[in-house]
Amino acid sequence: MTRTAITLSELAARIGAALQGDGDFVVQRVGTLENAAPDAIVFVAHARFLPLLARTRAGAVILKPDDAPATPLPKLLHDNPYAAYARAAAILHPSVPHKPGIDPTARIGEGALVDATATVGAYAVIDARATIGARAVIGPHSHVGESAVIGDDAHLTSNVTIYPRCVIGPRTIVHAGAVIGADGFGMAEEGGRWIKIPQIGRVVIGADCEIGANTTIDRGAIDDTLIEDDVKLDNQIQIGHNCRIGAHTAIAGCVGIAGSATIGRNVRIGGAANIAGHLEIPDNTIVAGATTVLSTIKAPGMYNGSFPLLDNREWRYVASEIRRLRTLAERVATLERALRAQAPDEGELP
């Protein structure tokens, strides 16, 4: 990335923040509270970090209006300091622009349409009848399959594989090693052996999405696997065939989602969660990390499905007690039946 110097007053105007202090201060980079240089701007999103401002070497800070008295530094005031920081970082550390054109080592298939403003990197392969949109970037060693569509301003970083007929929406970023459109895990069993079911659907990814490194999204068995606009997927996620992920959903690393699951809009799923197939998760739901979801969630809310951290000795005790629950339930049921037999006219037990 390159770096851009800007006055604090100009930065305030561009990110929609209120300026308090020296607007002529020149900001050259973003930094952390602990390690920022004097020409950097930092941010404080939570009050618990305000004490660190007394020791920071940063030249300016982004924080909430109510927290302004916490420091004499020049400051930008915004109700959402983290979002304001994201915009500031994009301005101060813009991506290196790509030079349009097709590298001599790239291979372009018959009938492929590559926009004149697109960039195709070294040893990339664009198969027949694929379409590469305006200002799109196809990184080195990436492969775009037959009749696939890469939207305007989309970016495949390097070693990305897009299978035939799949669609990547405008401004979507796909990171290294991702595989979009491999066959779903579709098998029929007969006579103790497996018969492969042809996977004839596609993967269709919307606009403004981000697909993490080594994430895999399987093509639909018949209909398409759908990733709606502004979905953010972390690294090493597996999404099975015929899933639908609603717009603005964010999923952390190492999550596994089995086939035909439907995830709503604005859902948050923590790292290493496991989602069974053929279920639904409603809009605005939060699934905590390492949670296993085995059936449809009927109402939005926050759901956890794992033990909190315990000392190993205590964990072993709790685990042994859980194993005894079925036996305990059976004993309780036996006692209830015995009590009813002794007092049959007393109605329901409390």
Catalytic positions, written as ranges: 241
Using CA atoms, how far apart are residues 8 and 133, in angstroms rounded to an integer? 36
Half-sphere exposure of 25 (CA within 13 A, CB side): 21
Token pair 């995830």: residue: 263
Identify whether the C-beta of residue 148 lies closer than 8 Å to the C-beta of residue 162: yes
Identify whether the C-beta of residue 88 lies closer than 8 Å to the C-beta of residue 12: no
Using CA atoms, how far apart are residues 46 and 55, in angstroms rounded to an integer? 17
Using CA atoms, how far apart are residues 170 and 152, in angstroms rounded to an integer? 5
Q: Which of 48, 47, 78 is nearest to 63 (CA)?
A: 78
| Other residues' Cβ atoms within 10 Å of the Cβ of residue 346 | 9
| Other residues' Cβ atoms within 10 Å of the Cβ of residue 109 | 15
Using CA atoms, how far apart are residues 75 and 41, in angstroms rounded to an integer? 9
Q: What is the enclosing helix (H) or strand (E) of 13?
A: helix 8-15
Using CA atoms, how far apart are residues 38 and 27, in angstroms rounded to an integer? 9
Strand partners, 217: 180, 239
Which tokens go with 160? 């990305």
Which tokens go with 221? 């068995």
Using CA atoms, how far apart are residues 341 and 178, in angstroms rounded to an integer? 64
State the Cα torsion 149-155-157-160 to the nearest 10°: -20
Amino acid identity of 338?
A: A
Q: Which of 301, 241, 240, 308 is nearest to 268 (CA)?
A: 301
Q: What is the enclosing helix (H) or strand (E) of 42?
A: strand 40-43
